[in-house]
C-alpha cells in the first residue's frame, strides 16, 4: 500500500500512476477502464513503450491515415483508441501524460472539449513557459509553431479524460509510416512532419524536470496520492471498450481497397489504346509546396487576345507553351452527357 500524502485542505484527491515500458495498448485499455469504471481522479505518466506503434483516433480509417504498404511490410501495429483526435506514431521517445477527472473536480470547469483544452493548456503552460515560447495552437502544444504535444479527449456523463502524447524525442524515419493528414490544423501550413514537429528534449533539460513540474502544477488543484500499478491488477482485459488493435486482415483489406478503383479501370479502358501512343506524364503542381510554387489558371468567357493579356503583365514575366490533355475515366455504363 502506497504511503498516503497529507491531504491538502479542500482539494480533491488525484491518484498518480507512473509507468515505464508498458505497451501502449495495455495503457489505453487501462485508461478506458479507469475512465468508465472508477470514480476517482487519476494522472498517468508513462514512457518507454519500445515498439513503434501507430495510434489513430476513434474514427480513424487506415487507408486515409497510414502508408499501408510499408506498415504491412514492417509489421507496425495499428491501434484505434477510444478517444477522438488524430493519428500519431509513438516509440521509445514518446512521453504520455493522461488526466482522468470527475466533472466537478475543477471548480468552474465545464465538461466540454474547449474548456478542458484551455484548462490543461494553461496547466502545461505553467510548467513549460520557462523552457520555450509555449503555445496551445489549435489543440496542439507547440514551441513557437512547432508541435511537440498532441491531445485527445473522451467525455462521458460525469467524467472526462484528456491525454497527451509528448514528443520527448522521436525517430524521423518513423514519420514515413504516416500519410500527411487531410484534416490538419491551419497553423501547420502544409509542412511535412519533420518541418512541423520539434523534440521536447531540445528545449527542456530533462524528462524528470518536466514530469516533476507537471506534478507540482497539478498539486495546485489536487491532493496528489502516489499509486502503485500492482494495486490495479491485470491490465490485459479490455472491457467492451472501444480501444482496438487492428488485425493484419483489416489492414490488408484497407490496402486492397485502395487499388480496386482507379488502376483496374485504367487497365481495362485506357491501356489497350496506348499500344502505339507516346505519352509523357509529368505533374508539376504539388499542393504541399504551398505558396512557393503556385499555379494560377485564368479562365474567362470573354475572348481576350493574347496581346491584351501581355500588356497588363509585368515586363519581367516569362512565357512558356504547354499542351495539356485532360483524361477522364468514364465508368462503364455511364453516359458521357450525363456525367
Partner 1 sequence: MASRLMWASQAASFLRISLFSRAFSTVIKDLKYSDTHEWAKVDGSSVTIGITDHAQDHLGDVVYVELPEVGANAKQGKNFGSVESVKATSDVNSPVSGEIVEVNSELNGSPGLINGSPFEKGWIIKVKMSDAGELNSLMDSEQYSKFCEEEDAKH
Cell of 18: 507512473
Q: Is 187 exposed, middle or buried (0-12, 13-18, 19+ CB in 10 A)?
A: middle
Point out which span in 153-161, 188-196, 247-255, 256-264 binds partner 1 (CB under 8 A): 153-161
Q: Which of 156, 172, 239, 268 binds partner 1 (CB under 8 A)?
A: 156
Q: What does residue 188 show for φ and ψ, rounded to 5 degrees?
A: -65, -30
Q: For the chain, state the CA radius of gyration.
A: 26
Cell of 229: 500499478
CB of 28 to partner 1, least distance (A): 13
For partner 1 (CB under 8 A), the number of binding residues is 33
Give SS3 for 56. Answer: strand
Place of cell 468514364: 330
Q: Which of 19, 136, 175, 232 binds partner 1 (CB under 8 A)?
A: 136
Q: Which of 107, 205, 294, 301 binds partner 1 (CB under 8 A)?
A: 107
Q: Which of 101, 121, 143, 214 binds partner 1 (CB under 8 A)?
A: 121
The reply to whether 20 sits near partner 1 by the rule CB under 8 A is no
Q: Where are the alpha helices (DSSP H) in the chain?
A: 24-37, 62-65, 68-74, 113-128, 193-196, 207-218, 248-259, 262-269, 306-312
The reply to whether 154 sits near partner 1 by the rule CB under 8 A is yes
Closest by CA position to 87, among listed 117, 111, 67: 67
CB of 85 to partner 1, least distance (A): 4
Q: For residues 57 and 62, which CB has a smaller minimum distance to partner 1 in the complex? A: 57
The reply to whether 109 sits near partner 1 by the rule CB under 8 A is yes
The reply to whether 82 sits near partner 1 by the rule CB under 8 A is yes
The reply to whether 152 sits near partner 1 by the rule CB under 8 A is yes
The reply to whether 113 sits near partner 1 by the rule CB under 8 A is yes
The reply to whether 58 sits near partner 1 by the rule CB under 8 A is yes
**Alpha carbon 41 to its chain's center:** 26
The reply to whether 11 sits near partner 1 by the rule CB under 8 A is no
Closest by CA position to 64, among listed 286, 248, 255, 243: 255
Closest by CA position to 170, among listed 140, 197, 139: 197
The reply to whether 49 sits near partner 1 by the rule CB under 8 A is no
The reply to whether 187 sits near partner 1 by the rule CB under 8 A is no
Point out which span in 46-54, 107-115, 208-216, 291-299 binds partner 1 (CB under 8 A): 107-115
Helices 113-128 and 207-218 meet at what angle, rounded to 10? 120
List residues binding partner 1 (CB under 8 A).
57-59, 82-86, 107-110, 112-119, 121-122, 125, 136, 139, 151-157, 183
Amino acid at each position: 500500500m502506497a504511503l498516503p500524502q497529507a491531504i491538502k485542505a479542500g482539494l480533491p484527491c488525484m491518484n498518480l500512476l507512473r509507468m515505464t515500458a508498458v505497451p501502449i495498448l495495455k495503457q489505453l485499455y487501462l485508461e478506458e477502464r479507469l475512465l468508465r469504471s472508477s470514480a476517482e481522479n487519476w494522472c498517468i505518466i508513462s514512457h518507454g513503450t519500445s515498439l513503434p506503434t501507430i495510434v489513430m483516433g476513434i474514427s480513424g480509417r487506415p487507408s486515409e491515415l497510414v502508408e499501408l504498404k510499408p506498415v504491412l511490410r514492417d509489421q507496425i501495429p495499428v491501434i484505434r483508441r477510444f478517444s477522438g483526435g488524430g493519428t500519431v506514431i509513438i516509440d521509445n521517445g514518446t512521453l504520455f501524460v493522461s488526466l482522468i477527472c470527475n466533472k466537478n473536480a475543477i471548480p468552474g470547469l465545464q465538461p466540454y472539449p474547449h474548456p478542458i483544452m484551455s484548462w490543461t493548456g494553461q496547466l502545461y503552460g505553467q510548467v513549460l513557459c520557462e523552457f520555450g515560447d509555449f503555445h496551445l495552437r489549435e489543440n496542439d502544444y507547440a514551441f513557437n509553431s512547432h508541435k511537440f504535444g498532441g491531445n485527445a479527449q473522451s467525455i462521458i456523463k460525469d467524467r472526462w479524460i484528456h491525454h497527451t502524447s509528448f514528443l520527448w524525442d522521436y525517430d524521423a524515419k518513423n514519420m514515413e509510416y504516416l500519410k500527411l493528414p487531410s484534416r490538419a490544423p491551419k497553423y501547420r501550413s502544409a509542412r511535412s512532419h519533420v518541418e512541423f514537429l520539434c523534440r521536447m528534449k531540445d528545449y527542456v533539460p530533462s524528462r524528470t524536470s518536466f514530469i516533476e513540474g507537471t506534478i507540482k502544477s497539478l498539486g495546485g488543484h489536487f491532493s496528489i496520492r502516489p499509486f502503485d500499478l500492482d494495486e490495479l491488477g491485470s491490465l490485459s482485459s479490455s472491457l467492451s471498450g472501444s480501444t482496438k488493435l487492428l488485425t493484419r486482415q483489416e489492414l490488408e483489406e484497407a490496402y486492397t481497397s485502395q487499388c480496386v478503383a482507379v488502376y483496374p479501370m485504367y487497365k481495362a479502358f485506357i491501356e489497350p489504346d496506348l499500344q502505339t501512343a507516346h505519352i509523357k506524364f509529368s505533374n508539376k503542381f504539388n499542393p504541399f509546396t504551398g505558396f512557393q510554387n503556385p499555379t494560377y489558371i485564368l479562365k474567362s468567357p470573354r475572348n481576350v487576345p493574347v496581346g491584351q493579356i501581355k500588356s497588363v503583365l509585368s515586363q519581367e514575366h516569362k512565357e512558356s507553351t504547354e499542351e495539356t490533355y485532360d483524361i477522364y475515366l468514364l465508368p462503364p455504363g455511364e453516359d458521357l452527357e450525363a456525367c
